[in-house]
Structures are given as structure tokens and as C-alpha cells.
Structure 1
Amino acid sequence: MKITRRTILAGLTVGAASKNAFAAPSFVTPDIPPLDPRDYAEARRHFSTGLIKHHPAPETAPPLGTPPGAVRITYPGGPDGSIPLIAWHSQYEPSQKLKPAVLFLHGGNATGDGHWALMKAYWEAGFVVLLPSFRAENGQPGNYSGFYDETADALAAATYLENMPGIDRNRFFIAGHSNGGTLTLLAAMTRKFRAAAPISAGVSAWRYFGRYSDEICFDPENQDEFIMRSSVCFGKSLKCPAFLFRGNQEQPFDQDHQLLIDRVREAGISIDRKLLPGTHNGVVPGAIGESIKFFNQFT
């Protein structure tokens, strides 16, 4: 049965492709995702994903412009800075009084003006916000990798934001929705932010690609490919306090989310979760408001 791929709020992306989300996966989902004892940042240094398919991100969307209230920049994506990618940040005047900042990772597999419209709440609350696009989105260079190399792009965007003039590195936060929530957790397990607020995040690559098996671009027989895309396998690597948000009308927090929370807490890191009114997409404005309250605890 063909269904329309989920969109990230009305108007956020265009031309979302039709996906067969119920195709039988060619891999076995473990009942309990394994715990990898390595630090995730160290594990990434010794792993390279082996793509067996090379193609753009699985949502079609037009080239990126500059939405109202944004400053368009190009940042060097990827671990080696070899892929120029577009990002938008809020307008601000650098001053001697340093400003808190939020790196926000969008949902879906394409960037749209609607994503940027949601960022207004951050800059009105006094944060400088950067919203990056990722490799292979919106006609940009690179190949879609299903979260792994996109995490490298998110980390590169974080480096760009923290080095912008007037940014307070001690009040440097990360948040993201859906696919961006998944990347938020993986990024926060690689380098330290002050706090993280994943919204409707996935924590298990087995669950994600079990639903979207047509997006698999790596060898599904290689369990390491799933492990390296699954934050639940590296719960003890989380490097900052985190608050997980989810809509009460979407898929509930599952046993893998609880396992992540248990593993994070075993490592002595603060993590909590909260249901908010709304669907998978409709929860985003409220969750951004909650993330601001959360981040303000550290300012």
C-alpha cells in the first residue's frame, strides 16, 4: 500500500515523495538493542558508513533561498569540510554581552521556509538560532546516508555557530524535530552542548528503517550500520542534560526510549521526557516553547 511520506508541518517541504512504508525489511530488529561500551565520538572516529546506494535525500524540494528574518550562509559540511551546505541564522548584532545560541535540526529530508518560520520563537526569546540544511537536500551536493553522515553535517554546523561573533559557548544548545531529533541525540553524544531538546526523536535505526525500508542506503546485513545510527546503543555517551518531547497524538514513547533513558541515567546524566498536546507535526511549536523554558534553566 502506498502512503504519502510524512510532512513536517504544512508547507515546510514540498513535493514529498510517496513511500511504501510497509515493505518487509530485509533485517532482524533486536528485541533489546545492544549496548555499545565505546564512547560514541570515539566509535565514529573508527567507523565509515559503506553506502551501497548513492542518491539525493528522499524528499524532493526546490533550491534554498533566504526566508524573511534569516541570514543565509554557507558552512563546510561533513567531517572534512568538503561539502558546502546552506544554513540560515537569525539576525543579531554581536556585542560584548555574549548571546545564547540554539542549533536547530529540522525534520524530514528537505529544508523549507516553514521550518524557518518556527525559529522565530527562539530569536524572540533572545537566542541566536542556526538552522542548517544537510547533504543531498534541496539539490545540494553529497549523498544521502540515513543519519550517519548527516550527523557530521550537524556537528560542522555546530562548529560554525559557536564560532560566530558574540556567541556564548557556555550557553550553546541543540534541538531538533523528528529526523532532526534523531540527529540531535547523535550529535549530543559526539560533542558537548549545554543541553539538548530532541522532539519526536527516533532512537533506534532498526525501527526507523523497518518502517522506511526504501531509504536504506547501506548494507542491511551489517549490524554496525544500525548500531552507529542508534542513540539507544550509546546511551552512556550522552554529554549533556536532555529533555525528550513528544506529541500525545503520535506514536508513544516506546521501550527503546525507556531503555535510552535508563542507560543515560546509569551514566549519571540528567534526562527526562514529556508528552505535549499534538500530533507528530503539530507538537512542534509547543515543544519549541518547552525547549526554551528548559534551556533558560541553564542561562
Structure 2
Amino acid sequence: MNAPKESLCFTRRRTVLAALGASLLLPQIASAFEVPAEPEEMSGDYEEERRKFRTHLIKKGPAPDKYEPLVAPPGADRIFFRSGYGGELELVAWVSRYQRTLKPRPAVLFLHGGNAIGQDDWTLVDPFIGAGYVVMIPSLRGENGQKGNFSGFYDEVDDVLAASDRLRHLPGVDPHRMFLAGHSIGGTLAMLAAMSAERFRAVAPISGDPDAFAFFDHDRKDIRFDDKNPREFQMRSPVCYAHSFKCPVRITHGTEATHLSGLVAKRALAGGVRIETAVVTGDHFAALPTEIAQSIQFFKSVAA
């Protein structure tokens, strides 16, 4: 990993630790929801359940993270895609520069961590580009000063699917070899998107949290929905619908993270899903280079 990436990992790690330290100084507010030791496995297909469910946002507004201008990083072009009801949201995505070849090229939709996209996110996808993939990183509703209401793991899934539509229709991209990956919050969204539509050849969530109950118990300030309704959490929890993955899955996380990947795999396997899990030495950020390299190998094993 080069120096800028190491700096990125240090900066983000420092930010996470600072936030955790600050939370210890806040008054202990009783949660309006209970955190189950093992989230319930729900029946039904997640894609179908999404068609029937509408999240109830108690608070509407932008994504919570600080952000920088949406200027395309070196080696990328800025493009736009439409999302939301009736396509009312115009969102920015960054796409790697490439030349069309006689044979269409495979592509990776990479979902960034956190709730804002930054220049440093682009450095993470260098290995995918080097491996020959066309790469897109989309921004999501409410991020970086854009329109739309942040919902936390729900309406953002629509943005991911909209971005995938834009990617698979780019000139020279093979729509039959489109892969999905994501880190942290992006890893969770990658799982939910891969349950929501049959269009990805494989998905590689990295350090995504499959349990929304536990995630929002630690980040209650980011809750915008009705936390008195358990369905709001279930519909944001991949572990509750692990049988609904519509493509092969490889879940990875670092050794310093607690995770329910084993339970996700157990439920997915019972539903006939091809899934594997791996633990990589390192924390949430230090494990990233190895996790991304393993994701590339996984994608190649599914479809070169």
C-alpha cells in the first residue's frame, strides 16, 4: 500500500477512535429498540419484501458525514446517473478511464465506506483497475451536498442499483461480467444490493456489518427511521435475509472485528447460495489491501 493509502487508513482510524471516545462522554440514552443476540431469520425473498416495504423516516436531511467537493480524482471521469422515484435524483459517479476493446470488459461497482465519497476512496480501487476492470464508485443520496434524504442502508440500495444500470450500459462494458464490492458501510450496502436484483456475477462485501440492530446501537445518532419498528432494522440487516443472495458471495473482515459472517454463511448455504467467508489479519483498514486482492481472485474464479 503506498503512502497516501497508509495516511488514509491512519486518518480514518483516528476519526473512528475519536468518535468512539466522544460517545463515551455522552449521557447514556436508553435505546428505543432491543438488540437481539441473534437477529431473526425472515421468510420471503428480500427483493420481493423491498417491493412491499417503505421505510418511515422520522428525520429527513443529508447524510451525516463531512465531505469534500465532488471533483473527479486523477484517472477518473465524473458522470451522472438518475435514481429515486421517477429519477428525480441526479447523482455523481466516478468511472475509470478506459479504451474500448473488441471484447467487452468486465466491470466492478465499488461502494465506498462512510457516508460521503472522497478522493482517497479512489486509491482503493487501483488494484481492480490494474486487473483490467472498468471501475465505478457512485455517490449516494444526501452525500457530498447532493439532493435526497439519508435513510441509512435502505433507500441508498436503490441508488446502488441505479448506478449499476448506468455502469452496465457504458460502451465497452460486459453487462454479464459486472461485479459488486464495497467496504464498511459500502460492504453492507453491497450485501443488500446483491439480494435485491439478479444482475451481479458475484459480490465481495468487505467489513460490512450484516446486523443493523447492532450497527445502529453503536451509531444511534445516524438513525433517521422509526426505531420502534423492528421491521426497519430487519430490512437493513443482510443476516435476516441471507438466503436471498442472487449471486456468489465472498465475505471478508479483519481479525480485530466482531462479525456475524458465520451466521450469514450458515443461512445462505441453507438457501442454496454459493458463499465463502475469510478473516484477514488486521483491523478495519489495515486488512483492506489483502481483502481487495482476494476479492479480485474471487471474481476471476467466478468469471474471468
Q: TM exceeds 0.5?
A: yes
Give, in angstroms, the shift of residue 18 of structure 1: 4.6
Equivalents in 2 of 1:103, 1:60: separation in Å? Answer: 23
**Does the CA-based 8 Å contact 1:12-1:113 persist in structure 2?**
no
- Code of the aligned partner of 1:274: A
Match of residue 177 from structure 1: 183
Select between 14-23 and 233-242 the one with higher mean Cα deviation.
14-23
Note the 1:13-92 alignment, pairs <5 A: 18=19, 21=23, 23-24=28-29, 25-78=31-84, 80-92=86-98
Give the paired residue count: 290
Match of 1:223 among 202, 205, 230: 230
Match of residue 276 from structure 2: 272
| Cα offsets for 1:221-274 (capped at 9, x unmatched) | 0111001100111111011111111112x2233xx3222111100011111111
Equivalent residue of 1:104, what SS? strand
Equivalent residue of 2:196, what SS? coil
Equivalents in 1 of 2:283, 2:133: separation in Å? Answer: 26
Match of 2:130 among 103, 119, 124: 124
| Cα offsets for 1:159-210 (capped at 9, x unmatched) | 1111111111221100000000000000000112111100001001101000
Q: Give me the TM-score of the superposition, normalised by structure 1.
A: 0.91
Match of residue 109 from structure 1: 115
Q: Percent identity?
A: 43
- Code of the aligned partner of 2:121: H
Match of 2:264 among 260, 267, 291: 260
Match of 1:96 among 98, 102, 110: 102
- Code of the aligned partner of 1:9: C
> What RMSD, in angstroms, separates the aligned Cα atoms of the two structures?
2.1
Structure 2: state its 5+ residue gaps: 1-6
Equivalents in 2 of 1:114, 1:10: separation in Å? Answer: 12
Structure 1: state its 5+ residue gaps: 1-6
Change (3 A) 1:14 1:275: closer
Give, in angstroms, the shift of residue 96 of structure 1: 2.6
Q: Which has the higher contact order (CA 8 A, sep 6+)?
A: 1
Equivalent residue of 2:87, what SS? coil
Change (3 A) 1:8 1:261: farther
**Does the CA-based 8 Å contact 2:77-2:95 persist in structure 1?**
yes
Q: Give me the TM-score of the superposition, normalised by structure 2.
A: 0.90
State whether structure 2 residue 203 is matched by structure 1 residue 196: yes
* Greater fraction helix: 2
